[in-house]
Structure 1
Amino acid sequence: MDAVVRGDSDCSMVGKTILLPSTHTGVPRYRAQNYQDAMALCRWAGYPDLFLTFTCNPKWPEINQMLRLIGQENDGSQVDIICRVFEIKLFHLMQHLKKKKPFGKIIACIYTIEFQKRGLPHAHILLFLHQTLKSPSTDHIDKIISAELPALEADPNGYNAVKNFMMHGPCGELNPHCPCMKQGKCTKYFPKKFNDRTNFDSDGFPIYRRRNTAVEVKKNGAYLDNRYVVPYNRNLIVKFDAHINVELCKLLKGQNTIVFKEDKRAESVLSRPDIDRTKFTEWFEANKVYEDARELTYSDFPTHWVWNATDKKWKRRQNGRSVRRIYFAHPASGERFYMRMLLNFVKGCTSFESIRTINGVKHKTYREACYALGLSDDDKEWNGCLAEASIWATGNELRHLFVTILIHCQEINEELDYDKDELKRVHETSFALLNDCQKTAYDAIITSVEKDEGRLFFINGHGGTGKTFLWNTIISKLRSQSRIVLPVATSGIAALLLPNGRTAHSRFHIPLDVTAESTCEIKQGSQLAELLKQTSLII
């Protein structure tokens, strides 16, 4: 009433702003919290194994029964009824997956609900299977996932369910105006190719069995065969009378580089039978078969073995010599860099896991394995990196590499590499010049650091009152004691006034465009994370 009397009709000018808590469905912090929960589950359960898409069927009898009860037509406008029935069906689907175990024992599951453009809800579901069900065989995949039309005579229920819910298109030449078509090609890569058996592409994802069985369905005036079938589980689509797409997830372990011509279709590239065999993966196979091959590192392997590109196999070298090298990996590329480092030392590896197994202990990351092998205890890795790059890199590339190492790889050593005797002399001179107010702040801050109180201080004063002089005195005091101090500023000019100062955005990896969901890009176990753990004071 007071606002109305004052004439404040704009509600944005009345009251105070309230940030909705993360428990409120749909707000940015709610989404961020759910994402973090999902990532925590992934850290515990590992990578997901199955991906399901469950779409609402507006012709479900429960929906029609309720519409008849209230005297309404099924025109899609009764979204409250559709959503309520879909929620009930989704609950029963999740219970069925957990208790009836059509895919085996499930240790965890995650799902999210979205709405199509026409308003129908659908759920994306991730299933995490028990460890005994990881890396299934192609025969097991064929039992739980199908991409073929059942025979009408042998399985009429399955045939009708696939016909009604699991057929894509028609698209392509049969229907160039299908919504999935873009620049004359289907964005979902239909029609697929006939395939006599299930196999895997270079990324580890399955190419499902699609035999030419001559079974067809008629849809929108066109006859469609197995090339248009969306992968499914027969019992699920029959039981729930809806579209339930089932896909196998796979870890991209190899991250192999492949070469293909630009006029090729991605589908044809991925369906090449030997695409998963590379020089690197076949090194594993050679080590499994030949005992003397296990005496060589991957970098030394070409000196005694020759790669046969036709058969995609390593064969013993009969004559000639070879100059060896491994593809360069940038220090900022993370695990790829550390794996490459290990390949210069480890021998006889038969899998990716064996590369990071040191003295019988399998480490979680290649970086941990490097530390266990003593490759990352000092500057050896960086000296070797620079020495190797100096052979082929340009001057500009070497400078960029050197700066990268300084920024990302040497932060702790850099913050401890000071002339402590000189800093003690600087501190003694500066401390004697502090006024009473500066000494009060100095004593409080140093006491907090020495007692590990973790207090927060704010020093206020106009230009020329000696704030920067106070900071420099404190910095020289703590750094002379081998303590780490991180001086930062909001601008580059201000940062230059502090010894070894950096901008806050650079030091703490703060995003330039900050939103309510923004976080500093500091990964656990990184050089910066370890530096912050050892830091005594941030200015």
Structure 2
Amino acid sequence: MYVKIETSRLDYFRKKQQHIRSELYQGIVDTITLGETNASNVGKRIILPSSFLGDPRDMRKRYMEAMALVQRYGKPDIFLTMTCNPNWKEITNELHLHEESQNRPDLVARVFRAKLEELKDQLFKRKIFGQVSAYVYVIEHQKRGLPHAHFLIILQKDWKVYAPESFDEIVSAEIPDKNTNLHLHNAVVKHMMHEPCGVLNPTNVCMKKNGCCKSNYPKNYASATTVGNDCFPIYRRSNNGVTVKVRGQNLDNRWVVPYNPYLLATFDCHINVEICSTIKAVKYLYKYIYKGHDRVAFNLISEQNNQQVDEIQQFQSTRWIAPPEAMSRIYGFIINEMYPAVYSLHLHLEDQHPVTFRANDDIINVVNLDRSRKSMLTEFFALNRVDENAKRLLYKEFPEYYVWNQQNKDWTPRKKKTVIGRIVTANPFEGERYYLRILLSHVRGPLSFDDLRTVDGVVAPTFREAATMHGLLQRDSSLEDCLQEASLYQVPSSLRRLFATILVYCNPTNPRELWERFEQDMSANFKPTEDSISNVRTQVLRSISFTIESMGKDINSYHLLDDDICFDEEEFQSREIDDELAVEILEEDIAASQFLNSEQQHVYNAVLEKVFANQNAAFFVDGPGGTGKTFLYRALLATVRSRKLVALATASSGVAASILPGGRTAHSRFKLPLDTDERNTCCVSKQSALANLLRAAKLIIWDEAPMTRKQHIEALDKMLRDINDSDVTFGAKVVVFGGDFRQVLPVVRKGTRQQQVNSSLVYSYLWPTLTKFRLTENMRARLDPIFSDYVLEVGNGMPPNTVDETIRIPNRMLIPYYDDNTSLDHLIEDVFHNIHEYSMNISTMMNRAILTPKNSYVDEINALLIHRLPGEIQRYYSFDETIDASKQSVMEDFLNTLTPNGLPPHELLLKKNCPIMLLRNINPSEGLCNGTRLICRAFDQNVIDAEIAVGHHIGKRVFIPRIPFLLNVDENSGFPFKRTQFPIRLSFAMTINKSQGQTLDCVGIYLPQPVFSHGQLYVALSRAKTSSAVRILIRPVSTEQREKNCTKNIVFIELLTLSCLN
């Protein structure tokens, strides 16, 4: 019966092809896919429009709308699947004698619909998981017949599940106690146990050809819920010996499908509940629920084939309709729903909107009708001309505040109902329409098409040019523009460094042309000699070459040198040594040796004894924050350098390196390998200038060594042995490592606790060879000894402060928690209470920061504070490109919402004198390391003028260009893409890990979720000198915790024991 109904509708669409093509190609619906852009095939394609529910275009449209919800409200928090139970009483009670549920698809469809409505009532009215911002659900019917519903739920901010501990409040993956909850126990056994597979049943339906279960059962035991390597949660599955018999096999907690106890007990059916933890999971889930109906056949048509492409025939030929699905459609049941509704906004060029009319209408009258000249877009412009509130909105934001009246062709204020907008997609191949969409997505309140093309009073000839002038598209000449803007500042040395940065990081297509264009600007501070201008050119190129070489590249790769220019090889080889010998030695550092305490003096004497005796030695200096490790390093460096000897200062982080005179990150100084294969070594050849420098070094200091993986330190050992032709540890050099194992450990991406500990220096073959010293006298303790002792107890994980990794925070340091917005505002006020004055007092502003565990919270706080800082906002937009060009139109909006770790945001908001942090090692020798903090001084479209605000290079002015960032497919985004943006982010707030190595006058600690790694709470607290300089805001993990003033403190006791600190 339903097949006849569907066929009748499809016949209607077959007869309306001319109208359908008009919609498809005039911007009413989403652009066709990349494979349909061949104009010669347009008339040969019979189109099945998106208005037909369930067809591929409808599914694609709904996928795009679901992704629009993610862009507006964030990633989903919960994925839920409910499957129809054919043994529900409401079904079995209505069956006749000898009748089975499969014989009554009408009954199955109606009962499932009723249960679905009851589930929605539980989720969205009774709010069993909390307040819901948005949701999507889809009813799926497979060939087996029984329907099931997939839900994706986005919770409001105050109800989001951040920490794995809170996952347990929603999801369980264990067999309940039979004695205390028999009903739930029976429901789990009946509905939530994965069928025996693998060695227990190799032929089970879930088995793949490689002999593994496609759902990876049985899972591993887990004593606590965590997030796994694949970004999906690993739920708690206790090894408690509880088993149940399923199909003749004894199964334990490893076979339980995750569920919510309340929903399972209520609905008595298979109801899988999962936590969505990352964007990678989101992409998978959305595609899963919108993958379309089951199909049983397909065929391929060659691109050269002139055969007509009949989408309607393809849909019918491959369609499989189960009886319950047929009954659901006959009854008119909703098969998918989305809240809030997503309103698709038309997109068309000027005078190219569709106009509808009857065949016998007078075409002149039709054209002259007022309503014929109106469309969603033209009336958006019209309302902006008369409504000040409308002018503050983007086109895609319009449906949230206004309603489109199709009959009257106008926008009217919205009174109720939550709706969000989405501009229909456009493909880059469409040219101007695609660029129009980019402008509409970023420009607020345009008054007309001409106004949209107007930038700073200049009317651009095309939308593409307007988008480029707004900084929304990358010019072919963007690198030339960058150098041109920087040249106006008339700082030749900075311009040369900028030019070198562009060569190394931006891969210009014609470096020689750029050089010739700006040679004179880069040469302005070199005076021509009597001989010729060529001497100046040689000096300038030599300067550029030195900078390029310090970045690990060779100037010969860029074809800038003429045949008559030749550099002195010996000069190149000695340049790095000369630079190190030229590092400024401060008088206070020279005098520091006179003020060392007894512990510091002991280390100082032991190290210098080996240095001046030319004997090899390797030391490790341990000391918590405040014990004067940096003071000791500076004294050692000054003493060695004052005798015209080479001493190298390095650190694991850019922040720590910037504090040391001549400091560099260990990665940039030693060319450490990016991966951690134990067989890899540093990229340093024995004939290089760097090798000469390392051979000449009498002392090497590596601060914050515990932050580095052991493989990197071992790579240094192998490299030093190689270039010095020595079998002695570290090539017979004197090396001083320092740090604090209580602080954060090396980052092991998605690694387990044991993997993190194993990556530490204490597990290296080098650890037993190091002479250990410990600094215990805390200089800061004199200011607040009670606080100093408290912080040390936090770092050591000592009771009574820490019980089961939970610690109570003293009330004097706490910001009371009321709700997220109010409490965060109080924290910001406490830390930056005079922000209007700080913009004129850079030192005061740079000595205060809010620390938080994750980058998403950093972005949230920075976004609030940049608006509070006085001044005019400067916006910079990134250029985001999918590696697969065919996905650009579909994924571009989504990419703009992502800010993966280590990447700058799509929309970068800056103001004059705002604090920023560098995100790449741009030019370490000049102080531009990953983590360097700077102050914005001036802006141009393609270059930012900034001043280094901390460390040895404080006060130096630098130019920062846009550079490309390539995100690999294994990152959280789920797919590879390239982002071109300035390599900076605001630094009012920073992650706890990034703050390591700094001492601040005022520290705010924001914990919307607990710390997740060893030493994070200790690092955050130890940035301050006294308890009065610390303010902590803890968001309770659950409502029961609100009055406890407790948070998690993760300390790997086994690591401290191995390092002899505990």
TM-score, normalising length: structure 2: 0.27
Q: Could you report, residue by residue, the CA deviation over 1:191-218 in whole angstroms, capped at 9, with x for unpaired residues?
A: 1111111112245432111001222111
Give the corresponding residue for 2:182. 156
**Which amino acid in the other structure matches residue 233 of structure 1?**
N
Deviation at 1:320, TM superposition (A): 7.4
Aligned to 1:123: 149
Quick check: 2:221–2:238 contact (8 Å CA) kept in 1?
yes
Aligned position for 1:309: 709
User: Which residue of structure 1 lines up, in the alignment, with residue 408 of structure 2?
Assistant: none
Look up the equivalent residue of 1:361 and give its one-letter code.
I
TM-aligned CA distance change 1:361 to 1:218, over 3 Å: same
User: 2:275 matched to 1:248?
Assistant: yes
The alignment status of 1:352 with 2:855, answered yes or no, reads: yes
Shift of 1:67: 2.5
Q: 1:102 aligned to 2:501?
A: no
Post-superposition Cα deviations, 1:457-496, rounded to whole Å, max 9, x if no partner, equal: xxxxxxxxxxxxxxxxxxxxxxxxxxxxxxxxxxxxxxxx
Structure 2 unaligned segments of length 5 or more: list them. Answer: 1-10, 21-47, 282-623, 631-652, 667-701, 714-733, 739-845, 868-874, 876-896, 911-935, 945-958, 967-976, 982-1062
Residue number in structure 1 paired with 2:85: 57
- 1:319 matched residue in structure 2: 736
**Does structure 2 retain, via aligned residues, the 8 Å contact 1:55–1:121?**
yes
Residues 181 and 204 (structure 1 numbering): CA distance in 2 closer, same or farther, change over 3 Å? closer
Among 179, 183, 191, the residue aligned to 2:205: 179
Q: Which one-letter code corresponds to 2:265 in the other structure?
A: V
Q: For 2:191, which of 165, 182, 201 is the aligned residue?
A: 165
> Is 1:45 aligned to residue 444 of structure 2?
no
For residues 159 and 857 of structure 2, the distance between their equivalents in structure 1, rounded to whole angstroms, comes to: 21
Deviation at 1:87, TM superposition (A): 1.3
Q: Which residue does the alignment assign to 1:138?
A: 164
Q: Which residue of 1 aligns with 2:331?
A: none
Report the Cα distance in structure 1 between the residues aligned to 2:858 and 2:941, rounded to whole angstroms. Answer: 19
Q: Describe the SS at the equivalent of 1:62.
A: helix
In the other structure, the counterpart of 1:214 is 241
- Of 162-171 and 41-50, more deviation after overlay is shown by 41-50
Taking a change above 3 Å as real, the CA distance of residues 82 and 199 of structure 1, as seen in their structure-2 partners, is same
2:941 paired residue among 377, 402, 412: 377
Residue 224 of structure 2, aligned match among 197, 206, 230: 197
TM-score by length of structure 1 reads 0.51
Letter in 1 for 2:151: I
Tell me the residue number matched to 1:3.
none
Structure 2 residue 58 is matched with structure 1 residue 30? yes
For 1:137 and 1:409, the matched residues in 2 are separated by 32
CA contact (8 A) 2:187 2:265 kept: yes
Distance 1:319 1:243, change over 3 A: same
Q: Deviations over 1:358-382 (max 9, x none)?
A: 8933997524465636788316899
1:58 is aligned with what amino acid? P
User: Would you say the 8 A contact 2:173–2:237 is kept in 1?
Assistant: yes
Give how far 1:31 is off: 2.5
CA distance in 2, matches of 1:52, 1:39: 18
Q: Cα distance 1:312–1:249, how it changes in 2: closer, same or farther (>3 A)?
A: farther
Contact 1:50 1:248 in 2 (8 A): yes
Q: CA deviation at 1:82?
A: 1.2
- Rounded to whole Å, the distance in 1 between the matches of 2:145 and 2:107 is 12
Instruction: State the Cα distance separating 1:170 from its structure 2 match.
Output: 0.3
Look up the equivalent residue of 2:178 and give its one-letter code: L
Q: Matches of 1:145 and 1:384 in 2, distance apart?
A: 44
Aligned residue type for 2:259: Y
Task: Measure, in 1, the Cα distance between the counterparts of 2:206 and 2:115.
Answer: 28
Note closer, same or farther for the CA distance 1:367–1:79 as it changes in structure 2 (3 Å cut): same
Contact 1:370 1:376 in 2 (8 A): no
Alignment correspondent of 2:140: 114
Change (3 A) 1:45 1:368: closer
Deviation at 1:300, TM superposition (A): 4.9
- Root-mean-square deviation over aligned CA pairs: 4.4
Letter in 1 for 2:709: A
Identify if the C-alpha distance between structure 1 residues 15 and 63 changes in structure 2 by more than 3 Å, giving closer, same or farther: same
Cα distance, 1:409 vs structure 2: 6.9
Q: Distance in 2 between matches of 1:252 and 1:297?
A: 33
Q: Post-superposition shift, 1:80?
A: 2.5
Distance 1:383 1:131, change over 3 A: closer
Whether contact under 8 Å (1:203, 1:252) holds in the other structure is: no
Give 2:298's aligned residue.
none
CA distance, structure 2, for counterparts of residue 220 and residue 147 of structure 1: 20
Contact 1:150/1:158 (<8 A) preserved: yes
Q: Is the 8 A contact 1:55 1:244 kept in 2?
A: yes
| Aligned mates of 1:253, 1:118 — CA distance in 2 | 30
In 2, the alpha carbon distance for the partners of 1:241 and 1:65 equals 16
- The CA deviation at 1:228 is 0.2
Gapped regions of structure 1 (runs ≥ 5): 1-10, 255-287, 322-345, 390-403, 411-539
Instruction: Find the aligned partners of 1:192 and 1:26 in 2 and give their Cα distance.
Output: 35
- Partner Cα distance (1:352, 1:141) in 2: 21
What is aligned with 2:1034?
Answer: none
Contact 1:358/1:369, CA 8 A, preserved across alignment: no
Q: Secondary structure at the match of 1:164?
A: helix
Output the CA distance in 2 between the equivalents of 1:355 and 1:300: 25
Sequence identity, in percent?
Answer: 36
Matched with 2:260 is 233
Relative distance call for 1:320 and 1:246 in structure 2 (3 A) is closer
Distance in 2, matches of 1:142 and 1:87, equals 29
Contact 1:166–1:243 at 8 Å: present in 2 too?
Answer: yes
